[in-house]
Chain A
């Protein structure tokens, strides 16, 4: 019985329950049908307006991928250095702690002032939002290295380069990937918000526009896509982690 339960994807049950409740609520007519679309109505948005949804989804996705990638290639090397060199850490720690507290969303007006309306402010904001979780998880991953391993490197008279690339980077990798999950999450949140103000395309823009033309079904469709893409990101990163961190003990049990 227990084994059977483990094999059934029970994670889908709450979602099915929600769907049923939604359908019931729509039928009961608690709200007017114009305000509260039924599941079937939302589904017809997917079938009738597929190209539109796809275009906006791709616009948002591209921004997140570009912004998070930029954050990755800037935050990880900096994090390695900060984690490794105490002086650099003392120099930058205060600044990092202040900056990571700024919500990227609060910087939207500033980004628009600087870069106008378009791709640039959106990507800058995602970069900013994704940078800090990646930086902090990289630093943490570097500093969690066992002292003995550094002693081994010291006795072998390993160069700084070798220590960074063969020891500190792989040691930090699980933590970096956790940071990447956080970064993709916040990046995805940020893009939707940024698109409501700073760009004229993407899911955020689509949702806001749907509100103005009174299309609640499109709003709900947009929200569903946001959820599904967010989930897909996370799954993708998990697969990457399982691939890259096969050496980790007990990874199978990790969430």
Chain B
């Protein structure tokens, strides 16, 4: 059974008199343990799709199944890493990482144990008692990822988590993320603007059209990891994804 099973999904936002169609007739499946990247121009509805799968936004038409169940609001199977990292500035690293467990009513001692272990896993030992403003951008994203993983979600939703990082930190974080994912085999849906990021990470790259977002094409990436970004096969895929996106850009300009 697919972990994500979205059929003929449409989403319109009603804003006063006008309505905005963010997604139209999206059909998408993801198997358990699969790493999908969602690639598309700004405003094509990537965040919207993510929010729907997280149960943060209701959809307008179609069916959305996660792990075989219809969504009714936020659910235990999903965790989200937000672009703006979404850390609580008044909580230390440890308390931030503990938050999702606390929300579930996990006891203080167990929470602390899991959080400390997770903090170590993401390479932040020694930073447990620091506040977010004392951490670098990359470290903050690690905290966000650690928090998302504490509950062992079946589905990890990531909305441009590395968008604000410099190129070097970004590629280091991609490696870290793959390492974490390979150890757990969580299904990941990863939103990005960057074509090469998508091809470094994904099993399949889902390319979307401009608004209203539809799925233009899905590019499978059958390269062994870690992927060599200078290899001809890698660059062929980049060119292909770019061509699909550029078609969109040309269309959008018309």
Interface residues, chain A, with chain B CB atoms under 8 Å away: 146, 148-149, 151-159, 162, 166-167, 170-171, 173, 245-249
Contacts and interface: CB of A to CB of B under 8 A. Distances in A.
Contacts of B104: 156-157
A162 B100 CA distance: 11
Nearest to A148: B86
B84 A148 contact: yes
A249 B135 CA distance: 11
B249 interface: no
A159 B103 contact: yes
Contacts of B91: 166, 247
Contacts of A159: 103
Given A155-B54, A162-B103, A166-B99, A247 B89 contact: yes
B54, B103, B133, most chain A CB atoms within 10 A: B103
Nearest to B147: A152
Interface stretch (B22-30, B73-81, B119-127, B197-205): B73-81
A153 B103 CA distance: 8
B13 interface: no
A210 to B, nearest CB: 48
A90 B174 CA distance: 46
B185 interface: no
Interface of B: 51, 54-56, 74, 76, 78-80, 82, 84, 86, 88-91, 99-100, 102-104, 131-133
Q: Is the interface of A mostly helix, strand, loop or mixed?
A: helix
B56 A249 contact: no
Contacts, number: 64
Contacts of B102: 158, 162, 166
B74 A170 contact: no
Nearest to A169: B90
A148 B132 CA distance: 15
Given A146-B84, A153-B103, A166-B99, 7 more contacts: A148-B86, A155-B55, A156-B103, A157-B76, A158-B103, A170-B90, A173-B90
B103 A157 contact: yes
Given A148-B82, A154-B56, A155-B79, A247 B99 contact: no
A167 B91 CA distance: 10
A149 B131 CA distance: 16
Contacts of B79: 155
A155 B103 CA distance: 10
Given A155-B74, A155-B78, A247 B131 contact: yes
Contacts of A245: 90
Contacts of A248: 89-90, 133
A156 B75 CA distance: 8
Nearest to A157: B74
Contacts of B54: 155
